[in-house]
Chains A and B, each alone.
Chain A
Amino acid sequence: MSERLDVKKTYKLLVNGAFPRSESGRSYPVMSAGGDFLANVAQGSRKDLRDAVVAARSAQSKWWAASAYNRGQVLYRWAEMAESRGAELAEHVRVAEGLAAKDARASVARAIDRLVWYAGWTDKVAQVLGGANPVAGPFFNFSLPAPSGVVAVVADQDSSLEGFVECVAAPICVGNAVVAIASERRPTPAITLAEMTVTSDLPAGVLNVVSGVTSELAPHLVVHEDVDGVDLTGAGAAGDDLARRAAASIKRVYRPRDDENPLRRLRSFVETSTVWHTIGQ
């Protein structure tokens, strides 16, 4: 009886619903929290980011055109997928973050619950963030939230799954498409969760995940002219510089604060569009 040999997985990028290796052909070794070799993960390049932005731009209009009800169901479906592979995710989180198994399972549970939370927001955002405005004149005037468009995410470096969910689910739930740079040292939980979008009816390109070296990738992504907003959660000390670069095309910039208002992430990548319509006979 020879022992069965494991089938090891290659961790690749998620771009436009497909799993390319980086066009650069590069990969980098990812270690567990304990310092053991885990995998060679695709090391994305500037070109991969550009491809991802193109995919995101094209997917965003489709995603936003779907009904809010439908978007909620898709996100809920993603949560279902994650739940059914919860043990696998927990193992990834445990190894990546060096947690006890119990704590890793709890982290995954919280991440999935957040996905469900965001799934429920899709058809409430307009009511909570929008409204009717009683202007002094014969006009029907209403304000509706609309997505900023394409949001670049520098995902949380430490919280490999929960942090990632927070960074990507908030902009996606309000109708944006996302290009996320996964945690550099701990990318496998995010990559695994992102794989599940392909079986969740999330249109290809709504979530794109590029793994690699954050300090190499982020400066390119935040100045891309077709990116509308930037979440710098995982940018660390480079955040100030990246925020300044993002000013070149007046991008919306989100940076985490200590006393976080639970809706600020949602609001950060939502535009208010106000329509005045005449009233008359």
Chain B
Amino acid sequence: MPKLVIDGTEIEVEDGITLIQACEEAGVEIPRFCYHERLSIAGNCRMCLVEVVGAPKPVASCAMGVNDLRPGRDGEPPEIRTNSETVKKAREGVMEFLLINHPLDCPICDQGGECDLQDQAMAYGVDGSRFVENKRAVEDKNIGPLIKTIMTRCIHCTRCVRFMTEIAGVEELGMTGRGEDVEITTYLEQGMMSEMSGNVIDLCPVGALTSKPYAFAARPWELRKTESIDVMDAVGSNIRVDTRGREVMRILPRNNDDVNEEWISDKTRFVWDGLRTQRLDRPYVRIRGKLKPATWNDAFAAIARKVKGKKGAKLAAIAGDLAGAEDMYALKDLMTRLGCANIDCRQDGALIDPAMGRASYLFNSGLAGVEEADAILLVGCDPRREASVLNARLRRRWRAGTLKVGLIGPEADLTYQHEYIGAGPQTLSSLASGKHAFFKTLKAAKHPMIIVGSGVLARGDGAAILAQAAKLADAAGVVKRGWNGFNVLHHAASRVAGLDIGFLPGKSGLDTAGILKAAKAGKLDALFLLGADEIDMGSLGKTFVVYIGTHGDAGAHRADVILPAAAYTEKSSIYVNTEGRPQMTDRAVFPPGDAREDWAILRALSAELGVPLEYDSLAELRSAMFDDHRHLALIDEIQDGDDLDLKKLGAGSARLGKQPFTRTITDYYLTNPIARASAIMAEVSAMKTGLGKTGTDG
């Protein structure tokens, strides 16, 4: 534990950290451009210069280890000055050099107002420049539909290059040329093929890389910032929704070390234009085969005509991938009051049985648990597409060394090395019986991990696959004292909450497959879809369909009555992520037009149907929900799961199929109604499919 004197204050710091970190611990701010705590150290911007007493020159504090400083002549701790005349002069000099080739186009720059260079030039620079020659100009690069480049502004900090290489794991950005002619580019200006690429916009300390869809749309100081949660996948990335008036202008990540660190995927970041288009902003009722705009009362009356007084067994409800916990709780409540047990939150048909305990469907080790793992088996899942942020974590763990990854399922470019074990259930069962070499790897590992993709559970033999995985976990000792490495990776944001509150078939109730079958056979009077668009609408027959949702997607096209609801940025709602962490979104904007929050729609509908729900406000609904499901009240805390009974889980008698696993997500950019409504997502999707599957496709 070396001791340092920083600006006259003695401080003891950890071994192995750098001077810039030590200064931060001492509460001293050091300006920087190239240094970033989650990236490797480059030391090329020189902005973080400090004075080390006794050293002949100023020292780049980001690249100097505290252990490398020598004590003074009489053994006194090394002294660092950050407020001396030398440091001031050094910073002014560096800043003057940085600004030599930087254009003075702040008034038309999208980074203006949140620009590190602007802020630091104000704080540490001087007002003039002695440079009278011509400034350099650099051609802008086209690197895809998401990132706009104005390369003349680039100060060559290489944060973007390091991010793409180290975190995203797609070596596409590079620095070409040398000296004054250095440029940041992709190879021959190809578009970036990573689903994490948008993060370079946040990393860029200047306005060289900005958001293309957001270009010239707003200034940071005129945006209202709302902290919220993302629902594009089941990771539950923490986001900040920036709005102006009634529109979401952009989405940025928030830091949460346990969930998404400070990254978000491109889908999370750029889906916002989908919140404006294809929106359902008024109720519709189908009259003589055509959907006609209607009032809420007409719509409710139309539903009441079909539902009121009908047998509960002839009703059904399916919840979609983006439904909040409150919405599902209210719908479940309503259906129960109507005497209906045919409800299911697993629109993909995943055969997850919550009777086995909550631990049987959670990412039990926690997302951060990946950091400890030393052997990971991926069963039919592609974390890069199903949970991009988690994949970045897996990659970092792999980069740290000694991580062995095995993959069963369709071969995929995961951005890290992995052993391809096999394609389907047979490989899994041979692994479970200890026949495959990777079994030994798992068995020998201190913190082994199995990640089962929720996609494989949606197969006909899903239960058997989960049982096999449990058997393997049991045999390989994946669950042990203080470590539970048996993980299910969901890809739908609503799924865990749905399972938690039991939005599942009741006694003799039908599940999704059963509901669809009954609908096709004409045995259902009415079907409620709570934002469920991923089911086969063609098999609903002549059933009366009520669609409660946000976008004119598959469900709305088929619906007989459409009730317009609120998207995730328009309501406060609880989502439980794949590791079982309840997180709450916040309302950033109001729903468009006549659209209302889902729970309020259900409350109003319940009164029309003569079975009023017992809560008149969101707070009352929440307190009822929390009474039933205590853990949902513990926002951002993972409730310790019940002990996972692998023996019981593995004892299933279901038969394994022979079909190899297939991709759960075929088009990463178009997985839900919001993304499908987004022009940006469509453009990226087209770019990537247009270039063919090259192994780096996302």
A and B: partners? no
Chain A contacts to B: CB under 8 angstroms: none
Chain B contacts to A: CB under 8 angstroms: none
